Structure 1
Amino acid sequence: MQYRYIKTFILLAVVGGLVSCQEQVQKRTIVEKPNIVIFYVDDLGYGDVGCYGAKGVQTPVVDRLAAQGLRMTDAHSGASTCTPSRYSLLTGRYAFRNQAAVLPGDAPLLIDTAQITLPKLLGRAGYRSAVVGKWHLGLGNGNIDWNGSVSPGPLEIGFDYSYLLPATGDRVPTVYLENHEVVNLDPNDPISVSYGAPIGDRPLGYEHPELLRYGADRQHGETIVNGISRIGYMAGGEEALWVDEEFPEVLNQKAINFIQESKGDPFFLFYSFHDIHVPRLPNEQFQGASTMGVRGDAIAQMDWTVGQILNEIERLGLAENTLVIFTSDNGPVLNDGYDDQAVELLGDHLPGGIYRGGKYSAFEAGTRVPTIVYWPGQVQPAVSEALFTQVDLMASLSALAGVQAADSELSDSQNQMEAMLGRSAQGRKYMLEEAYTMAIRSKDWKYIAPVPADKAYPAWLKDKDVEGGMDTIPQLYHVANDPSEQVNVAAQNPEVVAELTNELNELLKDNL
């Protein structure tokens, strides 16, 4: 009898062990294909959130991610402007290879539909993918018919769902695009868009400044929508026009719907913010949330937006199986076409932190952006100094998802997942920084290639009060000891200049 009890106990223990092993295998399988959420904020500088030193605005949600995850201090966008950075993130290719630049609102799709992309690679592993928010990578093949099916676009490069601002908030058409269709379009009020001659009867900012909520330069002074003049001309589509202040709630609901519909499968959500890009028109609940006027209020709104998505992920019990990456498409800019008092109300806040330059710049603040990796149970709280670029997200995330990809498909992208997860302090050996000239980083050094005299400091950069970092002579900075790039030591270190020049030239001549 006692033997039978012992035998039963052993059998139960073995069965229990098998169940436990099965649970562990199941958990390990889930971890191997985590959901992936990228919060891609627009024009957010290194110093624009609390955990990176912000003053005048509170960002409790982002600060919590940093406290509970990996806060990277030497992570970079692919370029110092939005379209090139987005191109590099989604393709794993340097933007210069496709001559990517900031696009007009009616530009054709920049990414070739035959090009391998991050959502295409993740699709091989069974991921559903969505992009919600700002697009600014072009749509169609030219001569877009906004009243019909707008294609090709995100669906043709691998996404399963898209809900977009077709370009960005300061450009027409000021409508939402869901998959291939303009939302709420009245067929009896068709849309026309022009980036040449004026069309339609909507008032123009440069003709009627008295109608504007705040002033704009000539470039941003064309069609007025919602009291703000935009770049370009637009006629029709009255029922489809967006209201800028509603962006957070509208885009959040679309993102949440996608998460709810995809919770049974691994999913990839590319949440591409309009905040804190101009025009800055935060929702009423965030007006006055900072001491910095609308730019600071937009930062507070961004933080809330992140929190709402995280709350839904946690409510659905998905937090431990969701990798969250919070970052920005380029460095900060204050005066970018609108008189919204971003400069006057800045106070002692430093948008780029200790770093020189900003959006459009080859100096560090052009691409060094806040970057946080959050994954409960997988990423331990830490600060990482690993050198990292968003170009590597494609190789890193596809490897994490178990995707087999050829070297030719990954192009410029390197697998840096160990650094992203905080399991290695080693990052890139060399890293390209794309701006209006090329720069290359190693861990300790930064080299900026010279430009012709007529491109050294263009008038439009002076108007924005941004140091572009361009000069007619080679620039070398020892960023390990001079992170603010104050002393050009090229003349004193010819061997380092030669090394980095060679690395840069080899990279630029590659035809990948």
Structure 2
Amino acid sequence: MQNLHKLMMKRIKLISGIFLCATVLMGCKSKNEHTSTEKASKPNIIIYLTDDMGYGDLGCYGNPIIETPAIDKFASEGVLLTDCHSAGTVCSPSRAGLLTGRHPYRSGIYYLQGYKGAHLRDSETTIAEMLKSGGYETAFLGKWHLSKLEKSEKIKEPHPGDQGFDYWFASTHNAYEGPKNFTKFIRNGEAVGEVDGWYCDVLTEEAIDWLTNKRDKNKPFLLIVSTHEPHAPLSPPEEYSEKYNNSTVDSLEHAINYGGIARTEYDISQNKKEYYGTISQLDNAFANLMKTVDQENLKDNTMVIFTSDNGPEHPVNLEESKGEWEAPTRDFCFGTPGNFRGMKRYPYEGGHRVPGIVRFPGKIPAGTTSDELVVATDFMITIANLAELETTKNNILDGTDALPAFLGKKTARNKPYLWVFPTHEDTYFRMPHMAMRYNNYTLLGWFPEKLENETLMDWMKSSVPVKFELYDLSNDPEQRNDLASIKPELVDMIRPLMLEQWIEIRDEGPIWENMK
């Protein structure tokens, strides 16, 4: 009997052991399956696009005056890009390039939306359309500037909903009337009327509401937040601007560089607090959005890209600007491109080298810096690869996968990139018409002068660069020493690449009837 009892106890222990092992194995399997599911889930994407923010406008990029604690903290959690560029040197082209992964001139966005009828055509495939085909939910909030959003019998251009966005709350242009209590937002095709608050704060509230209440939480998502700030006109709350109204700020002004571009002859220094305060207001708005991302447990599986649409704006002489609306409001623009030459519109570095910060916990090492060239047209391919989706085969893309750069590695770029702004008004802006990067060098080119009886479209569609400048950015980031006459053999080697790339892009772009 005693032996039988011992035998039964042994069997119970054996069975218990087997059961325990099975339980552990099942638990491990369950855990592995859960982990596998997590790893297999597609990442969420947030793109935070500021307007006219300069490369040197943030604390993490060395600004000695402006306080940006939230963005600086964000940079410490991801990678700070030192060679990040917008797709264009002015609003609409840069936005078209970011959304399509294509040089904006392929899409026909040569200047600004609406100029001679230009708009982003429905035939273009956007990041939103690509992600939506892969099961993503998509939202666009803020400045669109790629088509006319207001309803009209005469003008019917594709809106964000036609370009792949399930939800949109946007304005056609800037907040020309001022960023406070804006009256021209349109939500999913319907005019909203006057909103209470400042543009960037209203966008934050809208983004938070969409993230917490309106989206399908069973789907991965794309959210683009496109601010008006710090584009002129500027009028931040006094709590932000007054913190910069003191002698300490005045004493630091000597350290600020404005791209080597001549500013106004009259004193506008009393306005600088409005610009600095706007950047701090924007920093707070971004902080509130990131707080919601954390609260919704989205941080670990969300790649957030923070960048700008082009370099900073600068004041112009009232007489040279011909009395345009923006001349007096631009007296408030104190954005800086850091040590780089040029500002908004200029193909020099300061016109398109912009802040670029990317956070993706567990994927991108925190607190890192990358010196690799990254262009906003890279986002399409980078996001497609992360989401394991194919980009459209119908359109030529001009980007590359930038994820290696985010990880501190080298990228493989199979063709150079061109930044183009074909102004023909030499009395307004004296600048080259395009720039192309070739390793550490940048080649700049001028078109021939536009003839008086020549249309703008004919001039641009027939022109190629005829005059050149060459700079070595590795030892001359301020682009002070033109090497074209010193290294003519290098110019002769790079110039055919510029001409080939430009002619291909130029010839693909559509001809807008109003530009003839």
Give the TM-score, by structure 2 length: 0.77
For the 8 Å contact 2:369–2:408, the answer to whether it is kept is: no
Pair 103,426 (structure 1): closer, same or farther in 2 beyond 3 Å: closer
Please state if 1:17 is matched with 2:21. Answer: no
Pair 395,448 (structure 1): closer, same or farther in 2 beyond 3 Å: same
Q: Report the counterpart of residue 307 of structure 1 in structure 2.
A: 287
Please state if 1:293 is matched with 2:273. Answer: yes
AA aligned to 2:295 is R
For the 8 Å contact 1:334–1:342, the answer to whether it is kept is: yes
In 1, Cα distance between the equivalents of 2:480 and 2:489? 20
In 1, Cα distance between the equivalents of 2:222 and 2:342? 32
AA aligned to 1:15 is M
SS of the aligned residue for 1:339 comes to helix
In 2, Cα distance between the equivalents of 1:118 and 1:277? 25
Shift of 1:275: 0.2
Match of 1:179 among 163, 174, 188: 188
Q: Report the counterpart of residue 322 of structure 2 in structure 1.
A: none
Pair 43,341 (structure 1): closer, same or farther in 2 beyond 3 Å: closer
Please state if 1:70 is matched with 2:55. Answer: no
For the 8 Å contact 1:35–1:323, the answer to whether it is kept is: yes
Q: Note the alpha carbon deviations across 1:165-206, whole angstroms, 9 max, x for none.
A: 2211227995111111111xxxxxxxxxxxxxxxxxxxxxxx
Match of 1:376 among 350, 353, 361: 361
Please state if 1:321 is matched with 2:287. Answer: no
Pair 477,163 (structure 1): closer, same or farther in 2 beyond 3 Å: same
Pair 489,443 (structure 1): closer, same or farther in 2 beyond 3 Å: same
SS of the aligned residue for 1:474 comes to strand
Please state if 1:452 is matched with 2:448. Answer: yes
Q: Report the counterpart of residue 172 of structure 2 in structure 1.
A: 166
In 1, Cα distance between the equivalents of 2:479 and 2:340? 8
Q: Report the counterpart of residue 84 of structure 1 in structure 2.
A: 93
Shift of 1:281: 1.7
Match of 2:223 among 245, 258, 269: 269
Q: Which structure has the larger Rg?
A: 2
Shift of 1:371: 0.1
In 2, Cα distance between the equivalents of 1:497 and 1:118? 36
Aligned pairs for 1:105-116 (under 5 A) are 110-116=119-125
SS of the aligned residue for 1:264 comes to coil
Q: Report the counterpart of residue 493 of structure 1 in structure 2.
A: 487
For the 8 Å contact 2:311–2:352, the answer to whether it is kept is: yes
Q: Note the alpha carbon deviations across 1:220-241, whole angstroms, 9 max, x for none.
A: xxxxxxxxxxxxxxxxxxxx34
Pair 157,406 (structure 1): closer, same or farther in 2 beyond 3 Å: closer
Pair 506,473 (structure 1): closer, same or farther in 2 beyond 3 Å: closer
AA aligned to 2:108 is Q
Moved more, 477-486 or 12-21: 12-21
Give the TM-score, by structure 1 length: 0.78
Q: Report the counterpart of residue 507 of structure 1 in structure 2.
A: 501
Overall identity of the aligned pairs, in %: 29
Shift of 1:149: 11
Aligned pairs for 1:45-444 (under 5 A) are 45-103=54-112, 110-139=119-148, 145=151, 152-170=158-176, 174-183=183-192, 240-241=193-194, 246-260=198-212, 261-262=214-215, 263-290=217-244, 291=249, 292-335=272-315, 337-339=326-328, 351-381=336-366, 382-409=368-395, 411-419=397-405, 421-426=406-411, 428=413, 430-436=416-422, 437-444=433-440
SS of the aligned residue for 1:159 comes to coil
For the 8 Å contact 2:141–2:170, the answer to whether it is kept is: yes
For the 8 Å contact 2:122–2:162, the answer to whether it is kept is: yes
List runs of 5+ in structure 1 lacking aligned partners: 184-239, 456-470
How many residues are matched?
431
Pair 472,356 (structure 1): closer, same or farther in 2 beyond 3 Å: farther
SS of the aligned residue for 1:132 comes to strand
Q: CA RMSD in A?
A: 2.7
Shift of 1:54: 1.1
Shift of 1:481: 1.1
Moved more, 18-27 or 74-83: 18-27
Pair 75,249 (structure 1): closer, same or farther in 2 beyond 3 Å: closer
Shift of 1:115: 1.7
SS of the aligned residue for 1:476 comes to strand
Q: Note the alpha carbon deviations across 1:97-123, whole angstroms, 9 max, x for none.
A: 233144366986711112211100011
Q: Note the alpha carbon deviations across 1:334-392, whole angstroms, 9 max, x for none.
A: 3262435857x95xxx7111100010101101100010001122211210011110011
AA aligned to 2:314 is L
Shift of 1:255: 1.1
For the 8 Å contact 2:79–2:370, the answer to whether it is kept is: yes
Q: Note the alpha carbon deviations across 1:320-346, whole angstroms, 9 max, x for none.
A: 111100000000113262435857x95
Pair 65,497 (structure 1): closer, same or farther in 2 beyond 3 Å: same
Pair 266,356 (structure 1): closer, same or farther in 2 beyond 3 Å: same
Q: Report the counterpart of residue 18 of structure 2 in structure 1.
A: 7
In 2, Cα distance between the equivalents of 1:107 and 1:494? 39
